Amino acid sequence: MKETLGLRVLGEVMSWDDARATREFHWLSLMARLKYDGYEDFLAGARFIESLVNWLQQFSMGAERENAYAFVRCVLVYIGPAEMLRLVESFYADHVQRHLGRVVAEQHRVPAYRVWSSLQTASAYDTLLRRTLFVGLSEGAHLDIVRRANSGIVSNEQVLLTTYADADKWSKLLKDLRSDLQDTAATFRLVYLIDDFVGSGTTFLRKDKAGEWKGKLHSFRQTISPVLQSHFDPQLTVCVHHYIANHRAVGVVRDREQRARAELGVDRWFPEVHFSFGTVLPNTLPIDCSPLPEAQQFIPLAKKYFDPEDPTTKNKHIEEGGTDASLGFSACALPLVLEHNTPNNSVALLWADTPGHDGADNAPRRHAMRPLFRRRQRHG
């Protein structure tokens, strides 16, 4: 559907007069070109305007459609390629360099700003950097960009694209480390675990129904167990970095890590874990915490059109965060879209695609849910 046709159909769907349609078309055309058309998971041949027309038609004429459109117009947060690229490119300078500088400064008892003022401390920094391993927790880690942005600083021989590596890979990583440092006893002192987004902290670290620890951080500890003593320093520090974090998740992941440390002990956990974040979303972003009337008015729609029985919104992964996913996984209620995917922590009406059905045994009919930004399912 061409943009002009899509905009004309949108005007008819919304029953706008010419003045309102002209005003909204200017804004929609601009935002589609600058941001929304870049979303990676639109169907072939479709872009934002077409998706918006289809999405709005699921709501009743009048107030419902106006409230839904106002949500997109005033509440939706879209993090596109330019914003994500900035977060990825600034990761090393803003977080890695500063952390390593503080470690070297403490070891040599000098102020952090003087680390590069002498050959001894500068050399210590370079050695510590080489003893740092960068590991991607998902494709959202963008380690290819990290390497390109820091060419000559971070080498390919200290990067793991995933948390899982076979024995040959681990052997090569250690061999290259010792060769570069000319030290036959060298091991990795720091590990950076990198991911794009943390919404609730459940996928990252949680306890299952049986009381066992699960999640990406626990899985990484299990993965490196066979090579922990041979490849890593006894005082290994794990630094966890997320480019984007939901405000609530920041406290959750830190609290759960402390609980895991206390329960598992040093023999089954890491000696030290630090957290850092490229940006933390404001605590008023969730629509059930937002002061914006457009956010509050969307909540009844999010619940009315939610289908809790569809496999898209009811499965073992979704249920890890609770039984009601109308406001997203773990009721995070985020109006958030990332350019490469929509988090399931966002309200379900943004991403869920369900056919709808008649309720059984006098249960209410479930509306079809049409996604504005179609989501690819992925689980850590």
Q: What is the pLDDT of residues 256-312, one digit of tens each?
A: 999 999 999 989 999 999 999 999 999 999 999 999 999 999 999 999 998 887 766
pLDDT of residue 378 exceeding 60: no
The arithmetic mean of pLDDT across residues 9-18, rounded, is 91
362 pLDDT above the threshold of 60: no
Residue 105: per-residue pLDDT: 97
Length of the chain: 380
Q: What's the mean per-residue pLDDT of the chain?
A: 91
Query: Taking residues 48-69, what's their average pLDDT?
Result: 94
**359: pLDDT strictly greater than 70:** no
Strand segments (E) across 68-205: 77-79, 132-136, 159-160, 188-198
Strand partners, 338: 79, 341
Say what the pTM is: 0.91
Closest to 169 measured CA to CA, from 159, 183, 155: 159
Residue 342 has pLDDT above 70, yes or no: yes
Instruction: Name 280's bridge partners.
Output: 245
Whether the predicted pLDDT of 321 surpasses 80: no
SS3 138: coil
| pLDDT more than 90, % of the chain | 78
Give the tens place of pLDDT for each residue, 76-111: 999 998 999 999 999 999 999 999 999 999 999 999
pLDDT of residue 51: 92
Report in angstroms the alpha-carbon separations of 31 from 7, 24, 77. 13, 11, 12
Q: What is the pLDDT of residue 380?
A: 41
Q: pLDDT tens across 122-161, in order?
A: 999 999 999 999 999 998 999 999 999 999 999 999 999 9
Place of tokens 């041979």: 230
CA distance 329 to 38: 24
